[in-house]
Chains A and B, each alone.
Chain A
C-alpha cells in the first residue's frame, strides 16, 4: 500500500535525470516554430480537392451527366457566374451611376453656361404641320413605357445600394418586387413601341447630304455659324438609329431574361444581363439629353410633339431645308388657323414625308 507521503519510485527519478542531461542537446522551445516551418509536411493528396477542382471547372466548359432535366443541369458550379457578379457589383453599378450622374451634371453645366436656346427671330404668327396624331401617339407611347422601365430598372439596379439603407428592408423589398413585376410586364410593350416607331419614322431618318456637316459643327454648339438641317437633323437621326439598334438589343436581351424557356443557359442569361444593363444605361443617358432639349433646353422644340405644329421661325432656324420646302409648297399656316384634317387624322400622312418626297 502506498501512504499519503510515499517516496518517489526509483524509475521516475532516473527518467527525470536523463531528461535534464539531454535537454541542452535540443533547441529551445522558442525555436520550435522555426523547426515546424523548416520541416516539410508530408504530401498526402486530398481526393476532395481534385473533385472540387473538377466541379468548379475553372475556365473549362465541362459538364457532368445527370438525371436532372434542364439546361445546365450537369453543371454544379458555374465559374462565369462569379465573373458576372463581380462585373455587376464592381463595374456596372459604380461606373453606370457615375455615367448617369455625369450626364446630368454636364447638362446642368451646359444650361448654366448657355441657357435656353431661344428662337432668335422670336415666335412668329405662322406655323408648319410637323407630326400627325399617330406619330405623336407612338412617340408618347414609347416615352411613357421608356420612363416606366427606366425608373423600375434603376430601382432594380441601384436600389439595393441607394434605397435599401434609406427605406429599410421591408419597404424596399416591396418596392423591388413591384418594380420587377412592372418591369417584366411593360418590357414587351417597349418592343411593340420600337416596332411602331421604326416603321413610321425610318424613311425620314436615313442619312443624307448635309448631315455630316451638322455633326462636325456639333449641331451649332461649336462655332457661331448657322447649321442647316433637314426634317430631322443628324442628332435626331442618330438618336433614332441608336434607339433601333441599342433599344433592339435591350429588348432582345430582355426577352432572353424574361423567358428562360428557349434553351438559353446561365452564360447566355449573364451575357444578356450585361447587354441589357449597359444598353439601358447608354440609352438612358442619351434620352436624358433628348428630354433636356425637348423641355428646358430649346424654345419651341416640344411644340411639334404637343400640337403637331411647329413655329415657322423655329423651323427656319433648326430645320431650314425642310421649312424652305414647306414654304415653297405653300404649307405655311396662320397660327390661329383651325387644325387641318391632316392634323386631326390619326393616320394622316406626315408633312415631312410629303416634303421629302416633293424634294426628290
Chain B
C-alpha cells in the first residue's frame, strides 16, 4: 500500500512540484528584470555574461588560498553527486523508464562506488565546515541544514540499497528523493539553477561597465 503510494502518486506529485516550482521560481526572478542602464556600454554585456558563467568555475587566488577546503570539498561533492545522479546504472534505468524512454552511457560499478565515496566525503566536509566555521555558522539558516540533511539522507539510503535486493530499502530511498524534490524549489538548493542567472547578471553588468568580472 505504502509502496504503491511512493512508487505511484507521490512520485508524480513530487516531480510535478519540482518542475512547476523550479519554473515558477526562475520566472519570478527573471520577471523582476534589470533597471535600464542609460550609460553608454563600455563592453559587450551578453558576452560578459557567458564568460562569467564559465570563468567562475575557476577559483580566484584568494579563494584558492583561504578557501581551499571549501573549494576542494565543494567540487568533490558536486561532481560526485552529478556523476551519481546521471550516470549510475540504477538512476539511468529509472530515468529512462519513467521520463526519457531512452538510456545513455553509464558508469561501471567501480566508477559508481568511487563517485559515491567522493560525493560523501565532500558533503560531510562541507556540512562540518558549515557547523564549525564561526562565519558560516552565523550565515547558515535552518533551510541550509534541512537541504544538507535531506541530500545526505537520500545519498545514504541509496547507498544502503545498493544490493538492490530489498524493496523497502529502495522505497525508502525513493521516498526521501521525493521529499527532496518537493523541498527543492522552495529552498537554497535552487542555486543548482540560479547560479547561471546570478553569474550571468554580474558578468553582463560588469562587462557593460568595462570591469573585468
Contacts and interface: CB of A to CB of B under 8 A. Distances in A.
B99 interface: no
Contact of B162 (A133, A137, A185): A185
Contacts of A284: none
Contact of B133 (A141, A173, A344): A344
Interface residues of B, number: 28
A308 B132 CA distance: 9
Contacts of A192: 121
B165 interface: yes
A256 interface: no
Given A185-B116, A189-B120, A189-B121, A346 B129 contact: yes
Contact of B128 (A137, A186, A189): A137
A134 B160 contact: no
Contacts of B59: none
Nearest to B135: A344
A178 B70 contact: no
Contacts of A185: 113, 116-117, 120, 159, 162
Query: Which size class do A's interface residues fall under?
Result: 20 to 34
B138 to A, nearest CB: 10
A186 B156 CA distance: 10
Given A182-B159, A185-B113, A346-B133, A177 B120 contact: no
A181 B162 contact: yes
Nearest to B66: A345
Secondary structure dominating the interface of A: helix
Interface in B149-168: 156, 159-163, 165-166, 168
Contacts of A347: 68-69
A133 B133 CA distance: 6
Interface string A165-195: 0000000011001111110011011001000
A343 interface: yes
Nearest to A152: B160
Contacts of A186: 120
Interface of B: 66-70, 113, 116-117, 120-121, 124-125, 128-129, 132-135, 156, 159-163, 165-166, 168-169
Given A137-B128, A185-B116, A185-B120, 19 more contacts: A134-B69, A137-B132, A140-B128, A141-B125, A141-B128, A173-B166, A174-B168, A177-B163, A178-B160, A178-B166, A181-B161, A181-B162, A182-B159, A185-B162, A189-B120, A189-B124, A339-B134, A346-B68, A346-B70
